[in-house]
A and B are shown apart, each in its own frame.
Chain A
Amino acid sequence: MAEVSRFDVAKAVFVKDLRVEIRSRVLVNQILPFSALVMVLFAFALDATNVLTRVAPGLIWLAVLFSMIVIVQRGFAVESADGALEALQSAGVDALGVYWGKWAALVVQLVVLEVLLVATAVLLYGVDLRAEGVVLLVTTSISATCGLAAVGTIYGGLAAGVSGRETLLPLLVLPVASPVLIGATRAVEAALGTGGTAISEGWPWLGLLSVFAVAFGVGGSFAFGPLIED
């Protein structure tokens, strides 16, 4: 058999995942409306606009976390519906390649989600984007997303390997993801200038988020194979 590199596998899985999404439109038709709805529900719960503006960064990342759980469940439901993940395993396809492919596809979906959520915060919560904070906002979102996707893909694979245990996913993902919630929220507060925070206060958080992304990217690369293995 022709040699297949890990990147070929990753690319194949990545392209396949996005193609499945484009065909089924579950992200666009179900998950994005769900997360917009969550933002509306936050507004109902917290009532006053000035409060909403103050806590908007936190609400954005909370909505990202909750929606990510749904995206990950969907991403691995696609794999287990007709036994595709098992077929990949039984064919000895490189697990690390599968991990990277699914990670990259999750990153793309999360970025789409985050753009929508920031837009919702601008429209519904009266959040102002300031030009000087854009770099921090974008770099924060990218590093937070990379870390979240690494964590989501690890535990998504674990939950998919064991049928009917998808309910375990939030319990495993959310505690691990809490540093991202804290870090990304503070960094976005700095980027938006929420509550008078200066942009410079955001950079230490970016450091944390980057270390998190690297740690769990590497950790997940080691962990994924053993986790989905029978």
Chain B
Amino acid sequence: MHPSPDATTDPVIDLEGLVVVLGGFPALAGADLRVERGEILLLAGPNGAGKTTLLRACAGMTRPVRGSGRVLGFDLLRERESIRAGVGLVGHRNGLYADLTVQENLRFWGAASGATSSEIEAAASAMAVDGRLATVPVGRLSAGQRRRTALAVLVVRRAALWLLDEPHTGLDAQGRDELDALLRRAAVSGATVVFASHEADRADQLATRSVRVVAGRVEAVDG
């Protein structure tokens, strides 16, 4: 994909003292974080603690004003383009075109990222948005189906690091379980997943490790 010298041994995310300011407010106030390959890491913590900003910073989408970091082996400040190519960020919004069908959305991303049509098919079936769902406009899907389509885009893009912001929001119990199963499978096939959730107890089932984000900093969770 985008190899860096020690891609296999380096941590996927390695942040030190990251400060990110949004509208004069330090949304991240010196965050440190290390994530190893293949982990499914839960970012727990109350709303407004900085989870979303932390995910966006890892994706190279918000520029830190202080601190340093490497993501997928690339420098967070200097090699943002390389980071972006390997990172998949799904925020509160799914980044899909509501007027287009699932298949058309995936094909668009396939064309923009060089995936073959069989890869697109495989991605759709991996995220269970194939078959009957494929020809439904995204605007008419349920929240869970839309979320899965957005994740299928990450598969199409072969993103090595998945950054998901509250992926369970708006899903019913069945939708959550389905999503969890799909994410576990993605992690097994080589992706690293970092996801934020303010409902720690329910999200714990999915995560292989948890940290707490409090007041713009990352704290280890004991036990």
* Contact yes or no, A93 B97, CB < 8 A: no
B interface majority secondary structure: loop
Determine which residue in A8, A84, A86, A87 has the highest number of CB atoms from chain B within 10 A of its CB, and name it: A87
Which residues of B sit under 8 angstroms from A13, Cβ to Cβ? 112
A 4-45 to B, binary, CB cutoff 8 A, 1 in contact else 0: 100011011101100110011000000000000000000000
Which residues of B sit under 8 angstroms from A84, Cβ to Cβ? 95-97
* Contact yes or no, A16 B95, CB < 8 A: no
* Contact yes or no, A20 B99, CB < 8 A: yes
Answer whether residue A92 sits at the interface, using C-beta atoms and an 8 A cutoff: yes
Answer whether residue B176 sits at the interface, using C-beta atoms and an 8 A cutoff: no
CB distance from A75 to the nearest CB of B (A): 12
Given A9-B112, A92-B81, also A16-B94 (CB < 8 A):
no
* Contact yes or no, B158 A1, CB < 8 A: yes
Given A1-B85, A83-B93, A90-B89, also A23-B137 (CB < 8 A):
yes
* Contact yes or no, B85 A91, CB < 8 A: yes
Which residues of B sit under 8 angstroms from A230, Cβ to Cβ? 61-63
**A contact residues, total (Cβ < 8 Å):** 30
- Which A74-109 residues have a C-beta within 8 angstroms of B? 78, 81-84, 86-93, 97
* Contact yes or no, A83 B95, CB < 8 A: yes
* Contact yes or no, B114 A12, CB < 8 A: no
Which residues of A sit under 8 angstroms from B158, Cβ to Cβ? 1
Choose one: A12, A19, A83; the contact of B112 (CB below 8 Å). Answer: A12
Answer whether residue A3 sits at the interface, using C-beta atoms and an 8 A cutoff: yes
A-B contact pairs, 25 of them (CB 8 A): A2-B114, A2-B115, A12-B111, A16-B97, A20-B97, A20-B99, A23-B137, A78-B97, A81-B98, A82-B95, A83-B92, A83-B93, A83-B95, A87-B89, A87-B94, A87-B95, A87-B153, A89-B84, A91-B84, A91-B88, A91-B109, A91-B157, A92-B84, A93-B112, A93-B113
Give the interface of A toward B (CB within 8 A): 1-4, 8-9, 11-13, 15-16, 19-20, 23-24, 78, 81-84, 86-93, 97, 230
